[in-house]
Structure 1
Amino acid sequence: MIKLFRFLKPFRLPIFAVLVLVFFQSLSELYLPTLMADIVDIGVVNGDIPYIWKIGSLMLLVALGGMLCSIAASYFSSRAAAGFGKLLRGKVFSHVENFSLEEFDKVGTASLITRTTNDITQIQQVLIMILRMMVMAPMLCIGGIIMAVSKDATLSLIFVVVLPVLALAIFLIARKGIPLFKVIQKKIDKLNLVMRENLTGIRVIRAFNRVQHEKMRFDQANFDLTDTSIKVNKIMAFMMPIMMLVMNLSSVAIIWFGGFRIESGTMQVGDLMAFLQYAMQIMFSLLMVSMMFVMIPRASASAVRINEVLDMVPVINDAKTAAPVTGQTGHVEFQQVSFSYPGAEKPAIQDISFTARPGEVTAIIGGTGSGKSTLINLIPRFYDVDSGRVLVNGVDVRDMSQQELRSKIGFVPQKAVLFTGTISDNIRYGKEEASDEEVRRAAEIAQAADFISKMEEGYDSLIAQGGSNVSGGQKQRLSIARALVRQAEIYIFDDSFSALDFKTDSKLRATLKQETKESTVIIVAQRVSTVLDADQIIVMDESRIAGIGKHQDLMETCEVYKEIVLSQLSEEEIA
């Protein structure tokens, strides 16, 4: 957790203010019992009313000063902790934004959400406590012992017995509880994962009548977290009764032995009252330490998880010096490319070589799991190749900055993703400065203008979270419009026409061909009808290229392609 405190540098001034204020608050609390002892031993015993008023007024002033210091310390500690939380959340989010898909696969989306929210909140809460208590607890403990010894050194021997007992109790309880806090955070991850899958997959769950099964999964994760939380809280619950028992026994012992001291004339009543208060302050300081032992282990577990994210180095980074562009604009070339997913037994693609040129449509077709989507994910550098090279405009994509590379690409993913906001906002996601005319033009090319015009607010109509208020085909068309508004050099469509009817598919591809004459278009498709007119068809089979050419050529030379065509089209359609 100490490693994360480097993010406290911008809040040095409020932290310093907290430490100073808590110092003076502690002094006021240590001074009050001595003043009370003076009132009893001098004012009350001698019947000196003016002295009682004088010292009583001083006590009020000291108490008021301590209260003001406490309020100010709470304010500054809250500001520092909240600012620290905001800064740390920003750092984690910014760092995660640089992750490649490999890092996302490794950590998991649910875990990243937990770490950015719950874990940082845990540290933020503990930080407030540390800022208040790291000065107050030692000062009250050490100062209380000094003041108690000054009142009666012999009676202070009680602390020789009490303090080790308390320290041992805190140690044993913390030793049992700390490992369980780490387990709790992992179980929160699991609960978030189940909840996230349940919410995002609700249609599938209901379609297959698996609501009860999902409820059981959630209950299992929920009970698992609850059982661990109860177990750790049972352990930590021993802390307070032990502390109170020791405090009360100490009070009894102090009053008992103090009575003998007063009777022998070696101690005054006021001093005994002050001694008792100092004893309570010492116990209270240890109680604060025990509270910190309850919260710090959980925050430490959270800090480890956050540091894991911050220390994770993205496998995909920009080259230190950008290579000069040597090729034609929009030119894409694969040179003997192979790639395997981390931990996979077999390569996802092997020895892939082809060229996609501007003004041409390159279609990629093949069976499920043949490596089609993997292949195109290497162009925008979502993953890096294991061997070979992917060239864009004659430059290896690893030698270009990710921003520059992706600015050349209009990408439509296999699963259409829309964001909350208006239709216009979603299309402008591809080009922030796009004019209204450019937005409308992109929607028309994507065959989305008709259904947009029928909506009440038109382009200002709101899209719900995840695009739940539009159909699958409408989502795909809006995703296509978002890519087209970029007016990119390279367009990549990853099975982006699958939810469209044949008529819309045909019209979209015809319009697309006219609008992308100077761009390189790469289409991944399952339908043969989508790729028939392509300038170049790449047939994938078991992670390798089975054939490259036009439709008629492949029908004669590529058995894999021929099988795909015959499985989808009748002999009349083929002819």
Structure 2
Amino acid sequence: MKHIITYLRPYGLRMLMGFIIKVAGTFMDLGLPWVLAYIIDEVIPLKEVKYILLWGVLMLLLSVGARQFNITANRMASRVAGDTVKKLRHDLFLKIQQLSGSQVDYLSIPSLVSRMTSDTYNIHQMVGMMQRLGVRAPIILVGGMILTFTLEPVLTLILVGILPLLAYCVYVVSKKGIPLYSKSQSSADKMVRVVRENVNGIRVIKALSKSVYEKERFHRANDEVAANEFKAGATMAVINPIMNLLLNGGLTLVIIAGAYRVNSGASEVGKIVAFLSYFTMILNAMLMITRIFVGISKANASADRIFEVLNAKEELKPQEALTEKEVYGTSEIENIHVSFRGVTFTYPQRREEEAEDDDSINVENIDFGIKTGESLGIIGATGSGKTTLINLLLRFYDTDKGGIYIKGKNVKSYSLQELRSKFGVVFQNDMIFADTIGGNIDFNRGLSADRLKEAAEDAQALEFIDHLVNGEKCGFDYEAAVKGANLSGGQKQRLLLARALAARPEILVFDDSSSALDYKTDAALRTALRDNYQNTTTIMIAQRISSIMNMDHIIVMEEGRMIGYGKHEELLLNCSVYNEIYQSQMGE
């Protein structure tokens, strides 16, 4: 929780003002029973109406003042809580953007979503509660004890005897509750993952008639969440009944003892009435403290999860400690635009699971280089390591061995912004946003309308864009749905291709981005790339040989290794796997 304090420091003055106002309002509440006792015991016996009215007005002013002061303080507390968590969410979002691929794999996307939503909500609740109940409850508890002692020292001893038992109960139960809330959040992560997978794969689930199976899978995840939440809630719920039992028992003793003292003349009715009011206020204060402990238990578990992300090491920052040779490679690659030199890599999770198994390696000893303006095609079976090469080139992950160079400079020595600004990329499962067609192509880069149109034309997307109409919105102003739900597969791919081409990047990367295009459109796209992007280096992963057969270089991948490298004609002669793919696809 100490990390949350750093986020509260900018609002220290506002919190201090709210604290002062809350204290003033709470003291006004504490003064009401004392004034009532004075009226009953001292003013009423005088039988002077004016004094009764005067003290009655004082009670009214205390009531109104307490209400206004508490409302003002609560509003200030809510604003501090909102602003604090807003900054926390902002920093958490930025940190998530900086996480490496291995860190995202370890934490998991559903867990990151949960930390951004439910965990920050728990922090919000705790920060607001501490400024409201965290100020009011201790003042009422301590102040009420002091005032009850001034009114009835004998009866106060009953209250003093009960409070240590209550404090011990709260401590023991809260100590058990914190780990249970952590476990509850972990199971919630699993449920979010199931929901996310179902939302993303809803069409496949329906097409394969797996709705019943998925319902059962969600039911199991939901049951686990419910069971863990019940266990945590049931553990913390023990506090209230025990407190009520102890406090109600104490209240009974107070009433009995008070009645004896009034009857014997050792006390007065007004003092007993005031004492009972204070006793009730102290009861409520203890209940407030219980709520605070529950809130802190949840917030503590959530804070640990949030700051696990915020304190994560920045794995992808520029590595200034590289030697000159590591940064610039060797003289062999000085005139090469993109090169891999002895690159070997294993995904971290697989590395841990199969640490002693050579088969755990995803790509091994990858070595090639292409010049500016040249094109490279990558082909191979599913799982052969094609996309892994792109992940390493864009530095989503760092290599285990070897180096990757752009213009002779190691990608690890670039800032991520500088490195990735060189690329235009289309991934296998890329994202179309709920925005206009023009907005999806521009992607908030401030590109001109002419450039958007040129990119759409090169991507063979202009024809379908010109025919998009929805009321008054048409063409580039047409609103695309989330994930392009109102576009066909081919239209989505062409739109994504236009986005990649729009900024005229140094390097174009297409990861199986033409699979939904017909052969005529695919051929037209390759012609546009060859004619209009001569100085752009192109790397294309493809399943179809026709998409890459005319490229300057072709890599054939199998089980993470390069088993073929060269031009189309060379590979037909020298690479049996490539020849087999060619024969099966081209029918020759």
Q: Is the 8 A contact 2:336 2:369 kept in 1?
A: no
* 1:529 aligned counterpart, secondary structure: helix
Q: Output aligned runs, 1:137-148, within 5 Å.
A: 137-148=137-148
Task: Using the TM superposition, give the Cα deviation of residue 301 of structure 1 relative to its aligned residue in structure 2, in angstroms.
Answer: 1.1
Structure 2: distance between partners of 1:3 and 1:440:
49
Q: Deviations over 1:400-455 (max 9, x none)?
A: 111111111111112232111011011102x7121111111111111111111111
Shift of 1:172: 4.1
- For the 8 Å contact 1:140–1:282, the answer to whether it is kept is yes
* Selected match of 1:432 from 437, 445, 457: 445
State the partner residue of 1:376. Answer: 390
In structure 2, the partner of 1:230 is 230
Match of 1:554 in 2: 571
1:350 corresponds to: 364
* 1:333 counterpart (331, 335, 339): 339
Counterpart in 2 of 1:410?
424
Partner of 1:453: 466
Q: Is the 8 A contact 1:330 1:490 kept in 2?
A: no
Residue 545 of structure 1 aligns to a residue whose secondary structure is: strand
Amino acid of the structure 1 residue aligned with 2:301:
A
Paired residue for 1:533? 550
Contact 1:330 1:519 in 2 (8 A): no
Secondary structure of 2:556's match? strand
Q: Give the AA of the match of 1:183.
A: K
Q: How much does 1:355 deviate?
A: 0.7
**C-alpha spacing 1:155/1:433, structure 2 compared with 1 (3 Å):** closer
Task: Give 1:554 deviation, angstroms.
Answer: 1.5
For the Cα contact (< 8 Å) 2:184–2:232, is it kept in 1? no
* Alpha carbons of structure 1 residues 320 and 21: separation in structure 2 relative to 1, 3 Å: farther
Counterpart for residue 559 of structure 2: 542
- The answer to whether structure 1 residue 421 and structure 2 residue 435 are counterparts is yes
Q: Which SS does the other structure have where 1:343 is aligned?
A: helix
Aligned CA distance change for structure 1 residues 223 and 411 (closer, same or farther; 3 Å): same
2:406 matched to 1:392? Answer: yes
Contact 1:420 1:466 in 2 (8 A): yes
**What displacement does 1:288 show?**
0.9
Which whole-Å CA distance do the structure 2 matches of 1:376 and 1:155 have between them? 77
Residue ranges of structure 2 left out of the alignment (5+ in a row)? 355-359
Distance 2:102 2:47 in 1: 81
Q: Out of 447-456 and 160-169, give the one that drifted further.
A: 160-169
Kindly report which structure 2 residues correspond to 1:94-493, keeping only aligned pairs within 5 A, or say none: 94-320=94-320, 331-344=337-350, 345=354, 346-429=360-443, 432-456=445-469, 457-493=474-510
The count of residues paired between Structure 1 and Structure 2 equals 570
**Amino acid paired to 2:585:** Q
Measured after TM superposition, the shift of residue 222 of structure 1 is: 1.6
Asked whether the 8 Å contact 1:333–1:356 carries over to 2, the reply is: yes
Once the two structures are TM-superposed, the CA of residue 168 in structure 1 deviates from its matched residue by 3.4
| Deviation of 1:104 (Å) | 1.3
Secondary structure, counterpart of 2:361 in structure 1: coil
Q: In 1, are the aligned partners of 2:384 and 2:561 still within 8 Å (CA)? A: yes
The aligned amino acid for 1:440 is K
Moved more, 247-256 or 185-194: 247-256
* Unaligned segments of structure 1, at least 5 residues: none
TM-score with structure 1 setting the length: 0.95
Q: Is the 8 A contact 1:491 1:520 kept in 2?
A: yes
- The answer to whether the 8 Å contact 1:356/1:522 transfers is no
Partner of 1:63: 63
Q: Which amino acid aligns with 2:391?
A: N
- Residue 158 of structure 1 deviates from its aligned partner by 0.7
Quote the Cα distance in structure 2 between the aligned partners of 1:319 and 1:169: 53
| In structure 1, distance between residues paired with 2:101 and 2:349 | 14
Q: Does the 8 Å contact 1:262/1:269 carry over to 2? A: yes
Which amino acid is 2:102 matched to? Answer: E
Deviations 1:453-488 (A, max 9, x none): 111111111111111111111111111111111111
Q: Matches of 1:146 and 1:204 in 2, distance apart? A: 68
Q: Runs (4+) of structure 1 moved beyond 6 Å?
A: 321-330
State whether residues 330 and 489 of structure 1, in contact with CA within 8 Å, keep that contact through their aligned partners in structure 2.
no
The question of whether the paired residues in 2 share the 8 Å contact of 1:416 and 1:475 is answered with no
Partner Cα separation in structure 2 for residue 458 and residue 19 of structure 1: 57
Give CA-to-partner distance per residue, 1:37-96, whole Å, 9 cap, x none: 111111122323322222222121222221111011111001101111111111100111
Partner amino acid, structure 1, of 2:117: T
Question: Is the Cα–Cα contact under 8 Å of residues 106 and 349 in structure 2 kept in the other structure?
Answer: no
User: Once the 2 structures are TM-superposed, how far is the Cα of residue 567 of structure 1 from its aligned partner?
Assistant: 2.4
Aligned to 2:357: none
CA offset at residue 321 of structure 1?
A: 9.1
